[in-house]
Structure 1
Amino acid sequence: MWFPQFSQHKGPSVNVDVHNTSPDQSLNEDEVERVNALRALRSASWASIFYLITTDILGPFNAPFAISQVGWVPGIILYFFMGIAAMYTGLLLWRLFIHLDSLKYPVKTYSDLMDRIFGRTAHHACNVLQSLQLIIVVATICLSNGQAVSQISQGRLCFSICIVIWAFLGMFIGQIRTLKAYGWLANCAVWINLSIIFISMGFVAHSPPNFDAAAKSLGVEKGPIKTEKFGSLPLFSRVNGIMNMVYAYGGGMIFPEMMAEMKRPMDFWKGMAVAQALIFGAYVTYGAFVYSFQGQFTLPLAYQGVSKFAWQTVGNALALVTGIIAAGLYGNIGIKVVYIKIVEEWLGGPRLMSRKGRYLWSFMVIMYWALAFIVGSAIPQVQTITGLIGAIAVMQFTYTFPPLLRLGYDVITDAMSEDKMYVPGGGTNGRVDGWHQWSRWRRGLFGGRWYYKLFNLFIFLGGLAMGGLGMWGAGESIKAAFENSKAATSFGCRAPV
């Protein structure tokens, strides 16, 4: 058998009722405890998932900047096709979760999917990459909120202090352990983000761009406003703009974690579909509107691009609320990944929902947000750090890994199609070929829907290539940003806006 654990999953096993108040009496004490832990954790509905997905990292506020980097035509087209691809890969993750989750082998994180299909090495690599992405996502939100406070204080407060304020607040809000408890916060964040969209669109239409902020953040000097059908910026700037677009659909990284806390994981597709539709409409509408008025002066956080201080303050104040809610959500997932994989599985520590787990969780929250402050202050330009992590991790978890996982799953299950099976009263039938035998590879690669496997292979390779190009573009953008004499410096008091 190529992958032994598959033999213990007789098809989709997610229907095991972990919410039944009377678990099977055949379970031992440890298994009963695990069922109770799952029951305590699995409480979110598909409506909660909708709000959690739309509580995005930066909201749609980097969409105008992304379009300004590539131009009208590539910007609109890329947002549309990225949305279609993200919907497809999200459905892949959903189906894999349904097939592989069970009472005995619950899927708790993205890395669990990697483990079931590609083994422990892939499992550990996924954990490292996901933890890296989540900590930088949280750091980016601290950074963007720090920019907002700096604008509100009109630069009178040291920029590093502006960031550390949000790290301390994150240590407080991070004490929430379950996603269900975040549901009402995420609900509020969605409506506040929509309010910022409409309010700032009104401000942008009646205010010139913030030329000083554009000069500090982007190195663009004051002049006539211009928009372009196709971007004429250097290639690395356009690539970095595309990597900023990736954030619109970057929630795929935590889809398995969300499904792991749902009462009915089969309903996940409903919340995801509605969320993706809303995200596409909000990003494209807002991005096109702001770019049409601000052109090359569009800032990475568009609501900070209006020139009137009072109007800046309105957008900043509202965004502070949604930013810390989003940071709390991603921090929750990030800490949970570390807790489950290191504390529970590697060290055999207390379960997350236990009393001892409560104390350990609180300590980890403090350490996590302290690290987020260090990362956010080290690269104090939102547009470059988002492009970098978009290329390194968001692109992979959303567009590269899901088709690879589906390809691996199909190859394994097709290869197992002729394995020995127990027949009641008749012994076994079929045969067993080792993984090194061509007959097994032939069944896996060419059996079943070979054209579907080929399709997923092409998507995987395309995502991998785009991620590599994005890393180069982000690196060049960071270099250019630090060479700008007006740019903010690491752990300094000069603000980038």
Structure 2
Amino acid sequence: MGVVAHSPPNFVATQASFGDAFGPGPVMTFAGTPPAGKASGGSGFLGSMNGLNQAVYSYGGCLIFAAFMAEMRHPMDFWKALLCGEIFIYACYLVFGLYVYSFQGQYAFNPVMQGLSPYWWQTATNILGLVTGLIAAGLYGNIGMKVLYVELLQGVFGAPALTEAAGKMLWAGLIPVYWTIAFIVGAAVPQFSLISGFIGALFILSFTYTLPALLGVGFWIRKDAMVPEEETFDPAMGRYAYVDGGFRRYWRGFMKRPFFNTWNIVYMLGGLVTTALGMYSSIEGLIAAFNGKSQATSFGCASPV
């Protein structure tokens, strides 16, 4: 933040990545949606959605929190740390984003380290970004691969358990494949913000906002539809005796918490709409990224930054 306040934006990076319109010039900031050509993330509605696709990373990941809890020695301590962490992160991201934009305006760059013009400061922050990125990638990659292995490969395709020697060997072989695919996808797209925005809209946003609301509706309707006085569960056979079924049963469960369930449905629909709009804006941006106007190319060795 100190470097941003005492040095100009990295005009070389912005011009190489976004064209001559983002070459050296006066910094301009806007309280509302910037006019065309005055934001590196795009113009108008598409630019605003691309910004939202980046912001979702700050607050995403609800479903994987359950997997984190399963890995912890004291799982119930997690939600307390999560609450404190989210409050702190929320404040930091808001302040940091407003601060950088106030000094760099339309030249604000993602990732922010590449927007610094002093080379040594850029290198130092790149090192910090590389270390924190590797930690995050290793953490989420390990949890994500474990969920994929246990739920899909082991549960559906009958792969050996991770506690067995064959399972450990298969796991060790899948990890390089996972990172190879990630590298190919990252190198194939010339604009970092667009591929991260597409992933944010399709996965991070869906798994944080859409699916939790959908699962919440399903869980509470099924739970509230039970009739403990008349329905029984046979643990020996693993069977639950229902007194009814179909729409009548689901409606009874829904009406036990009508406002709560309605809110979850509206919340889920809002998540679906935002996901669709985010994917649309990212795809439009990806199409524009491959139109030859940017110096950044797929699988290029020389970075324009």
Q: Same fold (TM over 0.5)?
A: yes
Paired with 2:229 and 2:300, the residues of 1 have a C-alpha distance of 63
- Give unpaired runs (5+ residues) of structure 2: 35-42, 234-240
Deviation at 1:496, TM superposition (A): 4.1
1:464 to 261, 272, 286: 272
Which amino acid letter does the alignment assign opposite residue 9 of structure 2?
A: P
Matched, 1:330 2:132: no
Deviation at 1:311, TM superposition (A): 1.4
**Equivalent in the alignment of 2:286:** 478
RMSD: 2.0
- Give unpaired runs (5+ residues) of structure 1: 1-200, 424-430
Question: Structure 1 residues 281-290 or 345-354, which shifts more?
Answer: 345-354
Paired with 2:185 and 2:154, the residues of 1 have a C-alpha distance of 26
3-state SS of paired residue (1:300):
coil
Change (3 A) 1:362 1:474: same
Deviation at 1:222, TM superposition (A): 2.2
Q: How does 1:394-409 map to 2 (within 5 A)?
A: 394-409=204-219
3-state SS of paired residue (2:25):
coil
- Contact persistence 2:18–2:294 (CA under 8 A): no
3-state SS of paired residue (2:29):
coil
1:243 to 45, 53, 74: 53
**Equivalent in the alignment of 2:222:** 412
Paired with 2:245 and 2:17, the residues of 1 have a C-alpha distance of 54
**Equivalent in the alignment of 1:358:** 168
- Contact persistence 2:27–2:105 (CA under 8 A): yes
Deviation at 1:418, TM superposition (A): 5.6
Change (3 A) 1:477 1:316: same
2:86 to 260, 276, 286: 276
Matched, 1:455 2:263: yes
**Equivalent in the alignment of 1:229:** 31
**Number of positions where the alignment pairs a residue of Structure 1 with one of Structure 2:** 288
TM-score (normalizing by structure 1): 0.55
- Contact persistence 1:419–1:433 (CA under 8 A): no
Deviation at 1:387, TM superposition (A): 1.0
3-state SS of paired residue (2:225):
helix
**Equivalent in the alignment of 1:267:** 77
3-state SS of paired residue (1:250):
coil
Change (3 A) 1:455 1:290: same
Which amino acid letter does the alignment assign opposite residue 215 of structure 1?
A: Q
Paired with 2:280 and 2:16, the residues of 1 have a C-alpha distance of 23
**Equivalent in the alignment of 1:439:** 248
**Equivalent in the alignment of 2:9:** 209
Paired with 1:323 and 1:363, the residues of 2 have a C-alpha distance of 23
Which amino acid letter does the alignment assign opposite residue 12 of structure 2?
A: D
Change (3 A) 1:249 1:241: same
Change (3 A) 1:417 1:266: farther
Deviation at 1:411, TM superposition (A): 0.9
- Contact persistence 2:63–2:212 (CA under 8 A): no
Which amino acid letter does the alignment assign opposite residue 378 of structure 1?
A: A
Matched, 1:489 2:291: no
Paired with 1:469 and 1:211, the residues of 2 have a C-alpha distance of 30
Deviation at 1:270, TM superposition (A): 0.6
Paired with 1:221 and 1:204, the residues of 2 have a C-alpha distance of 17
Question: Structure 1 residues 256-265 or 322-331, which shifts more?
Answer: 256-265
1:393 to 187, 203, 209: 203
Change (3 A) 1:465 1:342: closer
Matched-pair identity in %: 44
